[in-house]
């Protein structure tokens, strides 16, 4: 069993408070964050959360740190990065406001709500509010002990994450990739493929989260290729295949990662303007029970792009099939 893998058997025993701030991550992932804080992290190097949202994930982790026998609240720091406001392109939801929606005066910031809810942990919380490209320091090379990535929803942001944070990982660092079940974020998958020789995957993903520990120094060249997005189309597909060999169903049994990662390959092609290849990969997955139920919009996007490109998908029947499947559930 891997070092981090030992935490899996403790998941069922974690009872988090009922009044935890609203979170977009599942209770499984919140409990894993708690366990990491409680049993694995020390706070000797930086603890970083990218994409704290309304503070649900931050709270679970901070609670674990507070219950830890080794974390010192006087010296340890948990760094929380987020826009902390809603608006176009932020990927933040109005549910991050304590009231569940934006105030009537139109204020878009939920930073005060975040501070209020995280009040017990403010002494060891360092908040970085704003666009991560502005709030992170390009010259900071301090080692990172823990990196929770729940922010890399675009290639632009992933570039910042890889340039300024992945480069600070050391052997022993722990990384959580939220949204690993998101086929539209293939940079999470091919970058993980490139890191495979230097990491140990904790075990099956926990719902949408892949956890790993760095076991060997990551060569600068590998980090540079990741942050510069320098892998070719073919290389990216191979890197994702390598990850497919390591992950299957998630810990709860609900998410078939091999299929999810296959659809991520279609998105590598799609973002590369190869709409024919994208659809050719994706259409083989339309019978997948999980994907057809949860990702019908992805199939539609890829098929439409292919058709706009002059292809003929001949997929009227396919769409009908998908919508029938959907309606039948
Ligand atoms: C999925 S949410 C985080 C959910 C949170 N971890 C939870 O427990 O509910 C993603 C967050 O990333 C933030 N985000 C996305 N792009 C960002 C950027 N460029 N700079 C700062 N924050 C960003 C959004 O504001 C949003 O709150």
What digits encode the pLDDT tens for the residues 293-308? Answer: 999 999 999 999 999 9
pLDDT digits (tens, 9 = 90+) for 135-190: 999 999 999 999 999 999 999 999 999 999 999 999 999 999 999 999 999 999 99
Strand pairing partners for 104? none
In whole angstroms, give the CA distance from residue 179 to residue 83: 18
Mean pLDDT taken over the chain? 94
Q: Is 291 found in the same domain as 170? A: no
Find out whether the beta carbon of 161 lies less than 6 Å from any atom of ligand 1.
no
Query: In the prediction, which pLDDT does 316 show?
Result: 41
Nearest CA to ligand 1 atom 26: 92
| pLDDT (mean) for 317-323 | 48
Q: Is 113 found in the same domain as 35? A: yes
Alpha-carbon 219 to chain mean position: 23
pLDDT digits (tens, 9 = 90+) for 167-180: 999 999 999 999 99
Ligand 1 atom with the smallest distance to the CA of 132 is 20
Query: In the prediction, which pLDDT does 106 show?
Result: 86
* Residue after which a domain boundary falls, among 211, 237, 263: 237
Whats the size of the chain, residue-wise? 329
In whole angstroms, give the CA distance from residue 280 to residue 62: 45
Burial degree of 229 (CB within 10 A; 0-12, 13-18, 19+): middle
What distances in angstroms separate CA 288 from CA 266, 291, 305, one per listed residue? Answer: 15, 5, 21
Query: In the prediction, which pLDDT does 318 show?
Result: 52
For the sheet with 46-50, list strands across it.
125-129, 78-82, 46-50, 144-149, 169-177, 210-214, 199-201
Domain membership of residue 84 (yes or no) is: yes
Mutate to test the pocket of ligand 1, among 24, 83, 86, 113 (most ligand atoms within 8 A of CB): 83
Residue 196: domain span: 4-237
Find out whether the beta carbon of 21 lies less than 6 Å from any atom of ligand 1.
no
Domain membership of residue 100 (yes or no) is: yes
Domain membership of residue 268 (yes or no) is: no
Cα dihedral 98, 104, 110, 116 in deg (nearest 10): -50
**55 three-class SS:** coil
Ligand 1 atom with the smallest distance to the CA of 130 is 21
In whole angstroms, give the CA distance from residue 54 to residue 301: 30
pLDDT higher than 50, residue 122: yes
Please provide the DSSP assignment of 79-148 as one string: EEEE--B-STTS---GGGSTTSS--TT---B-HHHHHHHTGGGGGGEEEEES-HHHHS-TT----EEEEE
pLDDT higher than 50, residue 317: no
Confidence of residue 313 (pLDDT cuts 50, 70, 90): very low
Domain membership of residue 266 (yes or no) is: no
Find out whether the beta carbon of 151 lies less than 6 Å from any atom of ligand 1.
yes
Q: Is 140 found in the same domain as 281? A: no
Q: Read off the pTM.
A: 0.94
Find out whether the beta carbon of 23 lies less than 6 Å from any atom of ligand 1.
yes
How far is the centre of ligand 1, averaged over its atoms, from the C-alpha of 149 (Å)?
A: 9
In whole angstroms, give the CA distance from residue 188 to residue 181: 10
Domain membership of residue 264 (yes or no) is: no
pLDDT higher than 60, residue 320: no
pLDDT higher than 70, residue 99: yes
pLDDT higher than 80, residue 195: yes
How far is the centre of ligand 1, averaged over its atoms, from the C-alpha of 78 (Å)?
A: 16
Q: Is 308 found in the same domain as 169? A: no
Structure-block tokens of residue 270:
């799609």
Domain membership of residue 257 (yes or no) is: no
Taking the alpha carbons of 209, 51, 54, 260 in that order, is the dihedral positive or negative?
negative
* Residue after which a domain boundary falls, among 212, 237, 262: 237
Q: Is 283 found in the same domain as 230? A: no
Number of structural domains, the chain? 2
The CATH number linked to 64 is: 3.40.50.150
Q: Is 191 found in the same domain as 49? A: yes
Query: In the prediction, which pLDDT does 312 show?
Result: 58
Of 86-90, 245-249, 280-284, the one with minimum mean pLDDT is: 86-90
Find out whether the beta carbon of 53 lies less than 6 Å from any atom of ligand 1.
yes
| pLDDT (mean) for 211-233 | 98
| pLDDT (mean) for 211-237 | 98
| pLDDT (mean) for 312-321 | 46
Residue 189: name the closest of 164, 214, 169, 212 by CA: 212
Strand spans (E) along the chain: 46-50, 78-82, 125-129, 144-149, 169-177, 199-201, 210-214
pLDDT digits (tens, 9 = 90+) for 11-43: 999 999 999 999 999 999 999 999 999 999 999
Mutate to test the pocket of ligand 1, among 89, 91, 130, 155 (most ligand atoms within 8 A of CB): 91
Find out whether the beta carbon of 90 lies less than 6 Å from any atom of ligand 1.
yes
Contact call for residues 180 and 210 (beta carbons, < 8 A): yes
Confidence of residue 314 (pLDDT cuts 50, 70, 90): very low
How far is the centre of ligand 1, averaged over its atoms, from the C-alpha of 92 (Å)?
A: 6
% of the chain exceeding 90 in pLDDT: 90
pLDDT higher than 50, residue 321: no
Domain membership of residue 98 (yes or no) is: yes
Query: In the prediction, which pLDDT does 3 show?
Result: 84
Q: Is 162 found in the same domain as 19? A: yes
pLDDT higher than 50, residue 193: yes
């Amino acid at each position: 069993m891997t070092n981090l893998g030992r935490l899996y058997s403790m998941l069922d025993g974690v009872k988090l408070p009922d009044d935890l701030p609203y979170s977009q991550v599942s209770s499984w992932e919140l409990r894993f964050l708690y366990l990491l804080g409680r049993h694995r992290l020390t706070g000797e190097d930086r603890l970083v959360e990218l994409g704290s949202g309304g503070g649900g994930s931050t709270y679970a982790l901070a609670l674990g740190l507070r219950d830890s026998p080794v974390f010192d609240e006087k010296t340890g720091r948990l760094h929380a990065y987020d826009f902390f406001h809603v608006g176009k392109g932020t990927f933040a939801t109005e549910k991050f406001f304590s009231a569940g929606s934006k105030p009537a005066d139109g204020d878009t910031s939920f930073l005060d709500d975040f501070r209020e809810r995280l009040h017990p942990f403010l002494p060891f919380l360092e908040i970085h509010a704003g666009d991560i490209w502005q709030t992170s320091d390009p010259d900071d090379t301090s080692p990172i002990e823990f990196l929770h990535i729940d922010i890399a929803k675009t290639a632009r942001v992933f570039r910042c994450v890889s340039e300024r944070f992945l480069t600070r990982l050391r052997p022993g660092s722990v990384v959580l990739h939220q949204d690993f079940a998101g086929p539209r974020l293939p940079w999470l998958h091919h970058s993980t493929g490139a890191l495979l020789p230097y990491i140990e995957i904790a075990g099956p993903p926990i719902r949408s989260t892949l956890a790993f520990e760095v076991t060997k120094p990551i060569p600068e060249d590998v980090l540079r290729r990741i942050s510069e997005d320098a892998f070719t189309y073919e290389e990216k597909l191979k890197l994702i295949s390598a990850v497919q060999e390591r992950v299957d169903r998630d810990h709860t049994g609900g998410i078939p990662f091999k299929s999810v990662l296959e659809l991520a390959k279609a998105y590598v092609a799609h973002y590369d303007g190869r709409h024919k290849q994208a659809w050719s990969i994706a259409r083989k997955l339309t019978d997948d029970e999980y994907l057809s139920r949860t990702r019908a919009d992805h199939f539609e996007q890829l098929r439409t792009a292919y058709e706009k490109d002059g292809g003929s998908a001949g997929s009227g029947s396919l769409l009908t099939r998908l919508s029938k499947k959907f309606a039948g559930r």
